[in-house]
Structure 1
C-alpha cells in the first residue's frame, strides 16, 4: 500500500471520527425531538410559520428543550420563569448573539441587533441610553403628539391608505428622534426603502440557506454561485448602507454646523469624536434605531387594527371608556391613568399579535447548568415569544383578544420587564436581559396615543363583499421573518360622527402654524430645546 493511500485512508477515518457525534443530542442536554445523524433536527424545522411547531415541541418536551442543528445547539425557552432565570438573572453570560453569518454580511458586522456582546456593543448601548431612558422619553412627547395628529387626519381623509398612514406615523416619529427631521408623506421613497429593506433582511435571516450556513460553518466558503443567499445579502447591504450613510452624513453635517434639531445623533456625533469609530458604524447605529422604532411599532398597530375588526365588542367597550373620560377632546398621555381598559388594549395587542414572534436568539458565552441540564458554550437561546403568549396555562383562551386580562395590571412595560416575579410580566415583545429594548418607554407612549385616539375618532369595520358577507381577516396568516405582521387585509374605517371628524381637522389646524411649507418644524418645542441645552 502506497504512502499516499495510507495518508488518504487515515484522513478519511479521522474525518469520520470527528463527525461521529454531529447531529446527536448529548444525554445531559435538555430533551427534544429525535435526531438524525449529521443534521440533527434540521429536517424538522418548518420553512414558514415556525412558531406553531416550536409551541408543539414545548407542549411535548417541556418549557426548556433543545434542538440539535447540525454542529450547533439551540435551547428553546417557552417559560417566563426560565427567561427570568437565564436571560435576566444570568445576563452576564446570556447576552451575546450566535454568529448569524448571512445576517452579518447584510449588516457589514455593524448592526447592533446582531452584534456579539463586547466593548463595541456596550459603547453603543451607553451612547443611546441617555436618549431612550424613561426621563428622556418624556421630552419626545411633542414629536409623538404632532405625528399622531397627522395620523388621525390621514385616516380621516384617505382611510383606504390606513396601512400607509401607520407606516408614516411610526417612521416620522423615529426620524425625528434619531435624525431630527419629519417624514411627512406616505409615499416617501426613503421610508419605503427602509421598510422594504428591513422586511427582506428579516426574511433572509430566517431563510433555510442562512440557517444552513450557521449550522455547517464550512458552507460559508462556497462561492456565491453555489450559495446565492450570499449574493443577495451583499446586494442588500449595499442598499442599506446607501440609505443609512445618507441619513448619517446629513445629520452629522448639521450637528457640526450647530443647526441640528434635538435628536439622538447629537450624542452619537460626540461619541464618534471620543471613541473614533467609523461613519459606517455610526450609520448603522442610527439606522438600527430607525429600523427598531419604525417597523416594530408599525407591525403592532397593524395587529391592533385587525383585532378591532375581529372583536368589535372590545372596540365598543374601549370607546365607552374614552367617551366617559374625554368625550369632547383628544385623549392625552395624562389620561392614561384613567383609562385602564385602553391600557389593556395596548398590552393585549402585543400579547395577541406579537411581532418578534420567536425573538432574536441570545447566545451563551460559557458552559452553564440549569435544572440539572447542561447548556453548552455557544448554544443559541431562543425565547419563544408566541409560545409563552399562547400558553393556555398562563392565558385562558389565548386566541381571544381580551384587554380585561390586564384589568389589575398597572405596570408600564419597563416595570413589567423588571418585575422580580416573572409571572407578572405582561408580554415578551421587548426582549430580555441586557438585550431588552431601550425604547420601550417611547413605544409605550406612541402605542397609547395611537390606540386611544384612533378609537376615540373612528370605527373599525370589516368590508362587505358582493354577497353581503363580512370579509374578515385571518389572524393566523402572517408574513415570514423574525419580525412578523398580519398579511395584507382590507378594513373599513369611518369617523364615529361628523363632530369627531371636524375635531380631527381642528386639532391638526392647531399645529400647522408650527410647521413650514415642507411640513418640518419652524420652531422646536421648548421641552426639546431644553433637552438640547442639557445634553
Structure 2
C-alpha cells in the first residue's frame, strides 16, 4: 500500500473522528446549558417525566434561556416571557413551524392543525379555524354553552361524587354541539367515553420517553413491528382517531342531507367549500380541524376546572371571599350569566391565579425555527426546537412573592400578580394560549366556558375535603399530585360538594328544566340509552 493511500486513509479517519466528536457539543453562540456528552449531547439528561420541573431547575442555574443538545439537534428552552415574546412573536415568520414528529405523522397523516409545519396548507386551515372562532361567531353559541353549564350544576347537585366525569362530559359536549351539532347528555355516553379513551391513549403515545426517538434515529422506522410495540400502538390510535373524527363529519353531512341543520360550524363548511377556499382534496382536512378543536377544547378546559376545584377546596379562605363577592353582585334570585363577569374582580383574580399556579399546558407545544435567528445576543440556529416553559414563568420567585402559594389577591394589587419592582416585560394574561402565529384560535370559547363555570360553581356550591367516615378526619387532596404528560391534570381526588342553600338548589333544578328548548336541537341523533336518559330528566318530553 502506497504512502499516499495510507496518508489519505489516516486523514479521512481523523476527519471523521473530529466530526463525530463535535456531534452533541454546544456550538459557539448558543445559549448556555448543562454540560454535554460527545455524540449524545444532553440526551441522557433530558427529562422523561415532569419535564417542566427539570426545565425550571435548569432555568435557575442557566437563566431565562438555555440550550440542550440532542445529538446534532438543538433544543432551546425559554422561561422568560420577554425573551419568548421577542423570539416567537417579533420573529414569528421564522419561528412558527413545528419540529418533526414521526409518531404524529403516523397517527394524523400530517393533517393535524396543531402538529402541521408552517406551510401554505397550514396557513389556509388556520385562517379557516380563526374565522370560525372569532368573538362574534362564538357569541352565537353562548346559549348552548350556558345550557350545558347549567347541566353541570344539576349533575353536581344530583351526583356530586362523579364531579370529574361531569366536567369531562360538559367540555366535550359543548365542543361537539358547537362544532358538529350533537351533544352528550350523560357522562357514560358512547361519544364521551370513546373520546376520552382515544385522548388518553394518544397522550400516552405522544409523551417523550413512551417510544424511541425516531426523529433522532430515523432508521428505527424500519424496525419490524414485533420488535417495535409503538408501531402497533400508533396504528391503533390512528384507527381510533379516524373513527372519531370521520364519524363526527359524517353525522354532520347526514344532517344536512336530511335538512335537519342546527347551525353548527361544520355544517357551513360542508355546504359551501368554495366559500372557505377549500378544494375537494383539501376538504378532508376539515375532519382533522374539527378533531383538533375537540381535543384542545375538551381536555385543557376540563383540566383547568379540576385544578380550580382542587385549589379552592384546599384554600377555604379564598372560597369564602369569592362567596361574599358573588353574593353581593349576583344575589340569591338567579344563577350567574357571562355579563356578570366584569363585576367580579376577585373571581377574575382566582381564574388568573389558577392559570399561574397550575397552567393546563406547563410546557407549551414546541415551535421550530426555519431560519437562523438571534435573541438576547444568542445564536438560534435553523432547525432548532423551541420550548416555552409556562410553568417557570408563573413560579419565578423573582417575579412573584411566595410563588407556590395560591393567592388570588396578588392580582388585585398588580396587573400580572407580580411583586413591586418585578419586570413585567412580555407578560400577558393569556400566555397559556401560546405565542405568535401558533396562538390558540379557541381563546374565546375557552374563556367563556371557564368564566361561566367558575361563577356557577362558586355561586351554587361549597367545596370541602371529604371526611373519612371511619376516622372522622378529612381525606387528603394533594395539590401536587398530577398525571405526567403534556396536560397537567390532577390525579383523581375526592371532594365534598354541597349546595350552598335550598333556594339555590331549587334555582338549579328550575334552570335545568328550562334548558330543554336549547338542548333538543342538538339531540336529534341520540342512541337508545342516551334517548332513554333524556326522557327521564325533568323538563324532557
User: TM-score under structure 2 normalisation?
Assistant: 0.89
Native 8 Å contact 2:43 2:69 kept in 1: yes
Instruction: Kindly report which structure 2 residues correspond to 1:220-369, keeping only aligned pairs within 5 A, or say none.
Output: 220-269=221-270, 270-271=272-273, 274-278=278-282, 280-328=284-332, 329-369=334-374
Native 8 Å contact 1:51 1:386 kept in 2: yes
Map of 2:173 onto structure 1 = 172
User: SS where residue 56 of structure 1 aligns?
Assistant: helix
Native 8 Å contact 2:184 2:191 kept in 1: no
Deviation, structure 1 residue 71: 2.3
Tell me how far apart the structure 2 counterparts of residues 115 and 24 of structure 1 sit (CA, whole Å): 29
Residues 12, 518 of structure 1: CA spacing in aligned structure 2 closer, same or farther, 3 A cutoff?
same
Map of 1:460 onto structure 2 = 463
The alignment status of 1:472 with 2:473, answered yes or no, reads no
User: SS where residue 213 of structure 2 aligns?
Assistant: helix
Residues 376, 496 of structure 1: CA spacing in aligned structure 2 closer, same or farther, 3 A cutoff?
same
Native 8 Å contact 1:352 1:389 kept in 2: yes
Can you list the C-alpha shifts for 1:323-346, whole angstroms capped at 9, x where unaligned? 001122111111111101111112
Native 8 Å contact 2:147 2:518 kept in 1: no
Residue range with higher mean Cα deviation, 510-519 or 295-304: 510-519
User: SS where residue 444 of structure 1 aligns?
Assistant: helix
Map of 2:85 onto structure 1 = 84
Map of 2:448 onto structure 1 = 445
User: TM-score under structure 1 normalisation?
Assistant: 0.90
Can you list the C-alpha shifts for 1:26-62, whole angstroms capped at 9, x where unaligned? 1211000011111111111222111111001000000
Residues 209, 172 of structure 1: CA spacing in aligned structure 2 closer, same or farther, 3 A cutoff?
closer
Map of 2:530 onto structure 1 = none
Residues 209, 446 of structure 1: CA spacing in aligned structure 2 closer, same or farther, 3 A cutoff?
closer
Map of 1:429 onto structure 2 = 432
Native 8 Å contact 1:182 1:520 kept in 2: no
Native 8 Å contact 2:30 2:67 kept in 1: yes
Map of 1:394 onto structure 2 = 399
Tell me how far apart the structure 2 counterparts of residues 48 and 143 of structure 1 sit (CA, whole Å): 38
Residue range with higher mean Cα deviation, 224-233 or 299-308: 224-233
Residue range with higher mean Cα deviation, 456-465 or 197-206: 197-206
Residues 473, 52 of structure 1: CA spacing in aligned structure 2 closer, same or farther, 3 A cutoff?
same
Deviation, structure 1 residue 496: 0.8
Map of 1:510 onto structure 2 = 514
Map of 1:200 onto structure 2 = 201
Can you list the C-alpha shifts for 1:277-303, whole angstroms capped at 9, x where unaligned? 356432111111111111110011010
User: For structure 1, which runs of at least 5 residues remain unmatched after alignment?
Assistant: 412-420, 523-535
User: For structure 2, which runs of at least 5 residues remain unmatched after alignment?
Assistant: 417-423, 527-541
Matched positions, count: 512
Pick one of 372, 380, 384 that aligns with 1:375: 380
Structure 1 runs (4+) deviating above 6 angstroms are: 5-14
Tell me how far apart the structure 2 counterparts of residues 519 and 506 of structure 1 sit (CA, whole Å): 20
Residue range with higher mean Cα deviation, 431-440 or 194-203: 194-203
Residues 141, 227 of structure 1: CA spacing in aligned structure 2 closer, same or farther, 3 A cutoff?
same
Can you list the C-alpha shifts for 1:212-263, whole angstroms capped at 9, x where unaligned? 2223333333333333222211211111111111111221233355432212
Tell me how far apart the structure 2 counterparts of residues 517 and 294 of structure 1 sit (CA, whole Å): 21
Native 8 Å contact 1:101 1:210 kept in 2: no
Tell me how far apart the structure 2 counterparts of residues 86 and 37 of structure 1 sit (CA, whole Å): 29
Can you list the C-alpha shifts for 1:475-504, whole angstroms capped at 9, x where unaligned? 222112112201111111111111111111
Can you list the C-alpha shifts for 1:400-427, whole angstroms capped at 9, x where unaligned? 112222226789xxxxxxxxx7444125
Tell me how far apart the structure 2 counterparts of residues 260 and 277 of structure 1 sit (CA, whole Å): 24
Tell me how far apart the structure 1 counterparts of residues 236 and 288 of structure 2 sit (CA, whole Å): 16
Residues 410, 13 of structure 1: CA spacing in aligned structure 2 closer, same or farther, 3 A cutoff?
closer
Instruction: Kindly report which structure 2 residues correspond to 1:74-153, keeping only aligned pairs within 5 A, or say none.
Output: 74-153=75-154
Deviation, structure 1 residue 97: 0.2
Residues 61, 287 of structure 1: CA spacing in aligned structure 2 closer, same or farther, 3 A cutoff?
same
Tell me how far apart the structure 1 counterparts of residues 247 and 393 of structure 2 sit (CA, whole Å): 40
Native 8 Å contact 2:182 2:522 kept in 1: no
Deviation, structure 1 residue 463: 1.1
Residues 518, 374 of structure 1: CA spacing in aligned structure 2 closer, same or farther, 3 A cutoff?
closer
**RMSD across aligned C-alpha pairs, in angstroms?**
2.6
Residues 400, 410 of structure 1: CA spacing in aligned structure 2 closer, same or farther, 3 A cutoff?
closer
